[in-house]
Amino acid sequence: MNRFTNKKGARPVAVTWGAVACCAIVFSGTAAGQQTRNLALPRFHPSPAGDDFFSLPSPHTPGNAIPRGGVLLDYAQSPLVIRDSDGTTVGRVIEHQMLLHVNVALAFADRAQLNLDLPIALVNRGDGTFEAGTFTGANAFVSPSGAGVGDLRLGARLRLLGEYADPFQLALGGYLWAPTGTRDDFLTDGKVRGQVHALGGGRVDRLVWAVMVGPTLQSTQSYGGVQVGSQLSWGAGAAILLGERREIQLGGETTGGVTLSQSTRSTNSEALLGIKVRLMGFLQLGLGGGRGIAHGLGTPDFRGIFSLFYNPPVVEPQPASDQDGDGILDRADACPTARGPASSDPQQNGCPPPADRDGDGILDNVDACPDESGRASPDPKANGCPPPDVDKDGIPDQADACPAEAGPRSDDPKQNGCPPPIDTDADGVFDPVDACAKIAGVHTEDPTTNGCPGDSDGDGVRDDLDACPHEKGPDGPDPAARGCPKLVRVTSDEIVILEQVQFETNKAAIKATSDALLASIAQVLQEHPEISMIEVQGHTDNRGKKKRNAKLSQERADGVVRVLVSRGVDGRRLSAKGYGQDAPIASNDSDEGRQKNRRVQFLITARTSTDDKAPVPAK
């Protein structure tokens, strides 16, 4: 800060512009004099309607003969304050200044734009009239009051590079201020001034940015001894677009300038943060605020912004579309959603060649059956259709031996197109020749038994009817005994005899009536070679002496073994053991019980293994 002292040693006095810095005043004239108020004090210049930022112009010029416009309220607090050298405020020449800007813009051919801004001072006042100090050259400063009009600003812009939504755009622009403002209200200096600026900017997804630089040209004048003249002006800003339709913008910007006069340099600079919200698609509401960040004429302590503009959304240019990706743009593609080659015929350009879905050589557009392979026919209704095939088995009726039943092709004309014979029981013998079509069986040369179950034991009774399929027995009306031996049956652990071996009373001699029974037992043993060991057990009732009963039972068991060996049974498969009266199966208190206890049993004690033919214990 420059300090000035009068001849009497009065304290220094300074005039400051802005909230954070001051600039000394070199007074001239007499104490009775008054500083001129013909000064263009406002340093906030709204960007043209439709631009992205409040005061920083954008490089884009969207639209063709599309008007945009609205109003902007600009409030500046203390843009012109006088303080003495120790910081004490002497007075606020302008404490509150509120300008209403009427702002319109019109773009042409997406490349050029004209704009106009008219500021109207709604509030423009300070402390009144006060003396800067009592020393040589001190003059009085008088605050304005009431409304007024500022200088009308005309603007133009030309886009040089980049489209509206490109990440980098470049433009040239400028402003021209006509001296239409109210004099003596710090709104005009009464002279024409102008600005030329280069603009850069762009959009990267949701990020918007812009920069500006250029000279502001105006005549040089002095206010309180400070020269005001041409400046180098600059600005920069960035914002983020929010919302599904990017209808909200949050960002910040800074603008400023430095005086080019060699005698006195004064820098004004300030920063703003703000939000812009699009309403109803075509209205844009803006709110912003900030403060000065450097000293300089017109820089306020605080600045507040409110704006409301008619700003319809920009219809961004769409790239040429090729929906089907065939290299032919939709506007020239006769089939824009179906890939196809280029053609000199506009009606076929970009269309796929005529289809032949069924591959029968007859194009779909003349194929009466495009999804079924067929043959050519002079009848349009039958052209490309297969011959009649009632059963839909793919064999034309005239070659189908079974036209009403679907079946496979066959080299045998009598079987071509016929279903294969049915085999209900899945035994490999087809039903027409299966004598037992519903029962699985085996193939035989006998038509009466072909496909019927076999006769494992060879007793003439089919296995499915034989209650004892592995033991020979006669046929009979009783299903439970059909094909079963009448005297002997084999279980898992015993050869069961259905009648007793008869002996002479109190002797080991076998009666002749038991010959048939023993013969049946011998036959069963020969039919079941897997039974490798039999224990022939002799049992008695409890009548008589126990020692005698034990001896008698052993003798009877030995006698049965001898008979079986004599009938061809290998004696090594047989062992005899008498249990006497020690293993009764019924009560000896009755004749019936004692008769049951007098018995011979054939217990299976081992069977031959199926793997190595070695004997294994019976279960």
As beta bridge partners, residue 616 has 607
CB of 197 closer than 8 Å to CB of 45: no
As beta bridge partners, residue 348 has none
pLDDT of residue 263: 52
Report, as an integer, the average pLDDT of 521-527: 89
Mean of pLDDT over the chain: 83
pLDDT of residue 249: 95
Asked whether the predicted pLDDT for residue 109 surpasses 70, the reply is yes
Neighbours of 85 (CB within 10 A): 16
Give tens-digit pLDDT for 196-230.
Answer: 999 999 999 999 999 999 999 988 877 766 677 88
Question: Which is nearest to 26 in space by CA: 54, 3, 8?
Answer: 3
Q: What is the distance between the alpha carbons of residues 11 and 180, in angstroms, rounded to a whole number?
A: 40
Q: What is the distance between the alpha carbons of residues 461 and 317, in angstroms, rounded to a whole number?
A: 96
pLDDT band at 371 (very low <50, low <70, confident <90, very high): confident
Which of the pair, 605 or 3, is modelled with greater confidence?
605
Give tens-digit pLDDT for 390-428.
Answer: 777 878 877 888 888 887 888 888 888 788 778 787 777
pLDDT of residue 99: 95
DSSP E strands in 370-409: the ranges are none
Which of the pair, 45 or 430, is modelled with greater confidence?
45
Q: What's phi and psi for 504, nearest 5 deg?
A: -60, 145
- The Cα-based distances of 294 to 288, 291, 428 in angstroms read 19, 9, 106
- Angle formed by the axes of helices 546-566 and 515-527, to 10°? 60
Specify the range with the lowest mean pLDDT, choosing from 24-33, 225-234, 388-397, 436-445.
24-33
Question: Judging by DSSP bridges, how do beta strands 13-16 and 23-24 pair with one another?
Answer: antiparallel
Report, as an integer, the average pLDDT of 152-158: 96
Q: What is the distance between the alpha carbons of residues 612 and 619, in angstroms, rounded to a whole number?
A: 18
Domain boundaries, the chain: 37-77+95-124+146-310, 318-353, 488-617
Q: Tokens 């250029």 appear where?
A: 214
Query: Class assignment of domain 37-77+95-124+146-310?
Result: mainly beta
pLDDT of residue 193: 94
What's the predicted TM-score (pTM) here?
A: 0.51
Question: Which is nearest to 100 in space by CA: 64, 162, 170, 150?
Answer: 150
Asked whether the predicted pLDDT for residue 616 surpasses 80, the reply is no
Percent of the chain with pLDDT over 90: 39
Token pair for residue 587? 């009560």
Q: What's phi and psi for 351, nearest 5 deg?
A: -95, 145
Asked whether the predicted pLDDT for residue 133 surpasses 70, the reply is no
Interacting residues of 540 by C-beta distance below 8 A, sequence separation 6+: 549, 552, 553, 580, 581, 597, 598
Asked whether the predicted pLDDT for residue 601 surpasses 80, the reply is yes
pLDDT of residue 403: 84
Q: What is the distance between the alpha carbons of residues 213 and 233, in angstroms, rounded to a whole number?
A: 6
What kind of fold does domain 488-617 have according to CATH? 60s Ribosomal Protein L30; Chain: A; (3.30.1330)
Report, as an integer, the average pLDDT of 496-505: 88
Which of the pair, 491 or 238, is modelled with greater confidence?
238
CB of 8 closer than 8 Å to CB of 76: no
Count how many residues are written for the chain.
619
Interacting residues of 280 by C-beta distance below 8 A, sequence separation 6+: none
Q: What is the distance between the alpha carbons of residues 470 and 475, in angstroms, rounded to a whole number?
A: 14
- The Cα-based distances of 62 to 21, 50, 317 in angstroms read 40, 9, 10
pLDDT of residue 2: 32
pLDDT of residue 58: 95
pLDDT of residue 429: 81
pLDDT of residue 7: 32
pLDDT of residue 428: 77
Which of the pair, 405 or 10, is modelled with greater confidence?
405
pLDDT of residue 306: 97
Q: What is the distance between the alpha carbons of residues 602 and 598, in angstroms, rounded to a whole number?
A: 14
Report, as an integer, the average pLDDT of 429-450: 79
Indicate the SS3 state at residue 143. Answer: coil
pLDDT band at 346 (very low <50, low <70, confident <90, very high): confident
CB of 120 closer than 8 Å to CB of 100: yes
DSSP E strands in 504-617: the ranges are 531-539, 574-580, 599-608, 615-617
Asked whether the predicted pLDDT for residue 247 surpasses 60, the reply is yes
Question: Which is nearest to 600 in space by CA: 559, 572, 567?
Answer: 559
Specify the range with the lowest mean pLDDT, choosing from 159-168, 303-312, 380-389, 580-589.
380-389
Q: What is the distance between the alpha carbons of residues 341 and 108, in angstroms, rounded to a whole number?
A: 39
pLDDT of residue 350: 86
Give tens-digit pLDDT for 452-468.
Answer: 887 777 777 787 777 78
Asked whether the predicted pLDDT for residue 236 surpasses 80, the reply is yes
Token pair for residue 165? 């939504």
pLDDT of residue 460: 73
Q: What is the distance between the alpha carbons of residues 88 and 37, in angstroms, rounded to a whole number?
A: 23
Q: Tokens 């069986």 appear where?
A: 441
Q: Tokens 């073994």 appear where?
A: 561
pLDDT of residue 96: 92
Asked whether the predicted pLDDT for residue 82 surpasses 90, the reply is no
Which of the pair, 380 or 556, is modelled with greater confidence?
556
Question: Which is nearest to 33 in space by CA: 148, 179, 147, 133?
Answer: 133
Which of the pair, 332 or 14, is modelled with greater confidence?
332
Q: What is the distance between the alpha carbons of residues 164 and 277, in angstroms, rounded to a whole number?
A: 19
Report, as an integer, the average pLDDT of 587-593: 91
pLDDT band at 31 (very low <50, low <70, confident <90, very high): very low
Rounded to 5°, angle at Cα 146 from 143 and 147: 120
